[in-house]
Amino acid sequence: QKEVEQNSGPLSVPEGAIASLNCTYSDRGSQSFFWYRQYSGKSPELIMSIYSNGDKEDGRFTAQLNKASQYVSLLIRDSQPSDSATYLCAVNSGGYQKVTFGTGTKLQVIP
Amino acid sequence: DGGITQSPKYLFRKEGQNVTLSCEQNLNHDAMYWYRQDPGQGLRLIYYSQIVNDFQKGDIAEGYSVSREKKESFPLTVTSAQKNPTAFYLCASSIVGSDIQYFGAGTRLSVL
C-alpha cells in the first residue's frame, strides 16, 4: 500500500509568519509531487508541483523535495488569513492514474 | 470559461436508489477521474478514463459505475449496492501524459 502521510493539524501560525507543512511518502520510486489547497467545502486547487530534488519557488510558496529522505514540504511566507485552508500533499508513484493523496494538514493563520 | 462542471452541487439519495453525478469538461482533456472524499480523509480514486469508451477501476470502485461516451463527459452512477454513499465526490481531468489534475467544484451526496 503506497502511503502519503501528513500531520492533520491544525497548524496555527500568526499572520506574517512562515508556515511549514510536511509530507512523507512510502514509495521510493515516486517521481512527481504536488501540493493542493482546499478551502472548507470546496474542491482542491493546485498550488505547486515539483519533480526534482531541491526547492521550487512561486511567489510566497516554496516547495522542497528530498527524495533520499522521502519527504516533500511546503513553505508559505508572509502567511495571510486567506491562506487558512487544508493543504493536501499528492504523490505520483507511476502513471498518472496512480496519484495518491494525503489526508491533508489544516492551516490556521491567526490575524 | 474553460473548466470542469459538476452537477448537482448537492444530491440526496433514498434507500435502494441509483443516482447519477454529472461531470463535464471543456478543457479538451483526455483523462478524467472520479474521487471520493470523506471527512478527515484523503481523496480515494473510484474510476478513471484515459480515452472515450474506456475506463478503469480505481481503489474503491465497488458500488459505482461510469461511462465515457464523449470526451467531454464522465458521469458517475452511485448504485444501491454502495451502502455508505455519503461523501464529497470530486471529478478531475488531465492531459494524457500529464499527472497534473484539475478538479471540478464537487458534488455532496447525502442519504435520506
Q: What is the pLDDT of residues A21-75, one digit of tens each?
A: 999 999 998 999 999 999 999 999 999 999 999 999 999 999 999 999 999 999 9
Q: Does B76 or B98 have the greater pLDDT score?
A: B76
- What local confidence, expressed as pLDDT, does residue A97 receive? 65
Region B76-98 average pLDDT: 92
A44, B31: Cβ pair inside 8 Å? Answer: no
Mean of the per-residue pLDDT values for chain A?
Answer: 93
Position A36: which residue type? Y
Find all residues with CB under 8 Å of A59, minimum gap 6, and list them.
none
> Please, are residues A88 and A44 in contact by the beta-carbon 8 Å criterion?
yes
The 3-state DSSP class for residue B20 equals strand
* Chain B contact set for A49 (CB, 8 A): 100
Q: Give which of B95, B99, B103 to mutate to test A binding, by max A Cβ within 10 Å.
A: B99
pLDDT band at A2 (very low <50, low <70, confident <90, very high): low
The candidate with the shortest Cα–Cα distance to A44, out of B9, B60, B92, B46, is B92
pLDDT exceeds 60 at position A96: no
Region B30-46 average pLDDT: 92
The radius of gyration of chain B from alpha carbons, rounded to an integer in Å, stands at 13
Tell me how many residue pairs between chain A and chain B have CB atoms under 8 A apart.
49
Region B30-57 average pLDDT: 93
pLDDT band at A80 (very low <50, low <70, confident <90, very high): very high
- What local confidence, expressed as pLDDT, does residue B1 receive? 59
Entry field: residues in chain A:
111
* Chain B contact set for A88 (CB, 8 A): 42-43
Q: In which residue are the cell numbers 487558512 written?
A: A84
A97, B106: Cβ pair inside 8 Å? Answer: no
Q: Does A110 or A7 have the greater pLDDT score?
A: A110
Q: Does B50 or B1 have the greater pLDDT score?
A: B50
pLDDT band at A11 (very low <50, low <70, confident <90, very high): very high
pLDDT exceeds 70 at position A1: no
Residue A23 contacts B where some CB pair is shorter than 8 Å? no
pLDDT band at A95 (very low <50, low <70, confident <90, very high): low
Mean of the per-residue pLDDT values for chain B?
Answer: 93
